[in-house]
DNA sequence: TCCCGGATTTAGACGGGTCTAACCCTAAAC
DNA sequence: GTTTAGGGTTAGACCCGTCTAAATCCGGGA
């Protein structure tokens, strides 16, 4: 039986690995989970012993297939909960992350199934992130690319807003930056800040690099992968 | 901040205290939580230090007002969750206890409020047990009395079925023993077993003493305290 | 009143998860 | 090829919640 904490580490590694093939370094995990490096090292020892991570000392870790399956289970719980909370308990998308984090380790298989059923087996959560299926196969690479990859004048559709900070999310929602919305890119500053106007809002919105990095968009030509 | 485990102890003491003014003894708590007596002793030390229990060494504990408030918060969570799961996620009343136990420590105040709201601020859970209010004032004494207090021939209405064992609950539900149902008591055996017939079922049902103890009923004259 | 059995507490250990301090490895700069 | 800055690991400590074994207390029976 895995502890909640172990599950958190696996989930963190999974999230950090998202979209890359790089090994994840101790310090990245430490920053993600807000613990010290030695703490991470000792946890990685345990995860390695259980065959959940592949490790090269001093060089970071990757998840084994088994470790990835565990991570996907937790991510599935998390995103189903986010979807349920917005859909049935009137939560705002900016608020669901913290609540889902609290609950994701403590729901039964049965609960998971009932929630998925009540929602009609959704494939994306309120932020546009893919919900792993009940089979726990790794989902496709995330849709689209970061908005910072585009140039001034481009017209794109928001596919995913992967930020977790409620303040950032409220700010974005207020200005019409949500999955499914069309954006016109007005300016890309040299230091990475993107300014755009949403079809839902008069007021343009500026996304500092750290935020822009979490906003993934598709071009009209590109078929909506969740469609 | 209290740990989940501390909350479990406070809840256990609260449940054991239910309806009595007796001090709760170490061994009772140990049995309730399935741990050893020394474990309980050391936890009681901590709870006493924090002012959550009144203790007399070798003589057991009672909750302080503060301890009782914490316990009521957990009980409120538990029973709201039970009600929500049956009402909105299609759980059977025999299944909800375990799931609520898993979740009761991990929901936010906000979640609690939203669930209560979605249910219309219910005052009893699916077992007929009172749900403490948001003010966390101690609820009234439980409704009615144990069915074992009655004699052959009495006609009574089930107010509460406080058992937690899913098998017992399924058995009872199959034979029509649920809150709100009328029962005619057919026989009370000397060793405490009660046999009764439900208005919902042809087949009589026999309740061994341990089960009968958890079935509380009111007489038709007695006004339904939940009405 | 004394003793005894059963319950309670004390003593001491352990695994989990965390920390700080100290040591060590890696890779980049020279 | 050396040096060195900075991240990674080891060492050792702590608290939590748990256990077993041993000591202690309480209350009822003689």
Enter the pTM of the model: 0.93
**Protein-nucleic contacts, chain A 6-25 to strand D, CB < 7 Å:** 25
Q: For residues B128-134, give the mean pLDDT.
A: 96
If one compares B221 and A162, the residue with the highest pLDDT of the two is A162
Nucleotide nearest to B2 (CA to C1'): D16
Q: Is B58 helix (H, G, I), strand (E, B) or coil?
A: coil
B39 closest-nt by C1' vs CA:
D18
Rounded distance between C-alpha atoms, residue B15 and residue A88, angstroms: 32
B114 neighbourhood in chain A, CB within 8 Å: 89-91
A199 touches strand D (CB under 7 A): no
**Chain A with chain B: Cβ pairs closer than 8 A:** 40
CB atoms within 10 A of CB A64: 18
Q: In what order do the strands lie in the sheet with A182-188?
A: A145-146, A215-218, A155-161, A182-188, A194-198, A205-207
pLDDT for the residue B130: 95
Is A182 strand, coil or helix?
strand
Which residues on chain B place their C-beta less than 8 Å from a C-beta of chain A?
Answer: 88-91, 95, 98-99, 102-103, 106-108, 110-111, 114-115, 118
The predicted pLDDT at position B205 comes to 93
Q: Do domains A4-63 and A145-218 have the same CATH topology?
A: no
Q: What is the gyration radius of the CA atoms in chain A, in angstroms?
A: 18
The verdict on domain A145-218 having CATH code 1.10.10.10 is no
Q: Would the pLDDT of B163 be above 50?
A: yes
Residue contact B108–A98, C-beta within 8 A = yes
Q: Which residues contact B203 (CB under 8 A, 6 or more apart)?
A: B175, B197
Label residue A23 exposed, middle or buried (CB < 10 Å: 0-12, 13-18, 19+). middle
Q: What does the longest C-alpha to C-alpha distance in chain A come to?
A: 55
pLDDT given at position B202? 82
Q: Measured from the CB, is B180 under 7 Å from any atom of strand D? A: no
Query: CB atoms < 10 A from the CB of A110, how many?
Result: 13
Instruction: Determine contact, residues B142/B158, Cβ cutoff 8 Å.
Output: no
Q: What is the pLDDT of residue B227?
A: 36
**Does the B4-63 domain belong in CATH 3.40.50.2300?**
no
Q: Which residues contact A92 (CB under 8 A, 6 or more apart)?
A: A86, A170, A173
Report CA(A196)–C1'(C18) in Å, whole number: 44
Domain ranges of chain A: 4-63, 145-218
CA dihedral B12, B14, B17, B20 (to 10 degrees): -160
Q: Across chain B, what does the average pLDDT equal? A: 93
User: Is B108 in Cβ contact with A99 (below 8 Å)?
Assistant: yes
pLDDT for B221 equals 61
Mean pLDDT is highest, among B26-35, B185-194, B200-209, for B26-35
The answer to whether the beta carbon of residue B185 comes closer than 7 angstroms to any atom of strand D is: no
DSSP string covering A93-147: TTTHHHHHHHHTTS--HHHHHHHHHHHTS-SB-TTSPBPPPTT-PPPPSPSSEEG
Residue B25: per-residue pLDDT: 97
Nearest chain B residue to A101 by CA: give it. Answer: B106
Q: What is the pLDDT of residue B76?
A: 98
Is B99 in contact with A111 (Cβ distance < 8 A)? yes
A1: chain B residues, CB-CB within 8 Å: none
Q: Is the pLDDT of residue B195 over 50?
A: yes
pLDDT at A227: 36
Q: Supply the pLDDT for residue A200.
A: 84
Tell which residue, B52, B18, B12, has the closest CA to residue B26: B12
Sequential pLDDT tens for chain A (227 residues): 899 999 999 999 999 998 788 999 999 999 999 999 999 999 999 999 999 999 999 999 999 999 999 999 999 999 999 999 999 999 999 999 999 999 999 999 999 999 999 999 999 999 999 999 999 999 877 778 899 889 999 999 999 999 999 999 999 999 989 999 999 999 999 888 999 999 888 889 999 988 998 999 998 764 544 43
Residue A68 in 3-state DSSP? helix
pLDDT in tens, B35-47: 999 999 999 999 9
Which of chain B's residues 23-82 bind strand D, using a 7 Å CB cutoff?
33-36, 38-39, 42-43, 46, 57-59
Does the CB of A46 sit below 7 A from strand D?
Answer: no
Q: Which nucleotides of C are covered by protein (CB under 7 A)?
A: 7-12, 16-22, 25-27
Neighbouring residues of B21: CB distance < 8 A, sequence distance ≥ 6: none
CB-based contact A106 B110, cutoff 8 Å: no
DSSP string, B119-182: HTS-SB-TTSPBPPPTT-PPPPSPSSEEGGGS-TT-EEEEEEE----HHHHHHHHHTT-STT-E
């Amino acid at each position: 039986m895995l502890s909640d904490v172990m599950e958190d580490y696996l989930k963190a590694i999974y999230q950090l690995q998202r979209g890359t093939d790089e090994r994840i370094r101790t310090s990245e995990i430490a920053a993600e989970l807000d613990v010290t490096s030695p703490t991470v090292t000792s946890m990685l020892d345990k995860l390695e012993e259980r065959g959940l991570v592949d490790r090269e000392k001093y060089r970071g870790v990757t998840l084994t297939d088994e470790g990835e399956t565990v991570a996907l289970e937790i991510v599935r719980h998390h995103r189903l909960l986010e979807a349920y909370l917005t859909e049935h308990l009137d939560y705002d998308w900016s608020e669901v992350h913290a609540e889902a984090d609290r609950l994701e380790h403590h729901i039964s298989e049965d609960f998971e199934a009932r929630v998925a059923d009540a929602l009609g087996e959704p494939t994306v959560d309120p932020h546009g992130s893919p919900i792993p299926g009940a089979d726990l196969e790794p989902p496709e690479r995330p849709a689209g690319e970061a908005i910072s990859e585009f140039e001034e004048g481009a017209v794109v559709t928001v596919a995913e807003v992967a930020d977790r900070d409620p303040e950032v999310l409220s700010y974005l929602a207020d200005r019409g930056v949500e999955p499914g919305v069309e954006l016109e890119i007005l300016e890309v500053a040299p230091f990475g800040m993107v300014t755009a106007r949403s079809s839902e809002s008069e007021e343009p919105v500026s996304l500092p690099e750290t935020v822009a990095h979490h906003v993934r968009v598709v071009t009209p030509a590109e078929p909506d992968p969740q469609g």
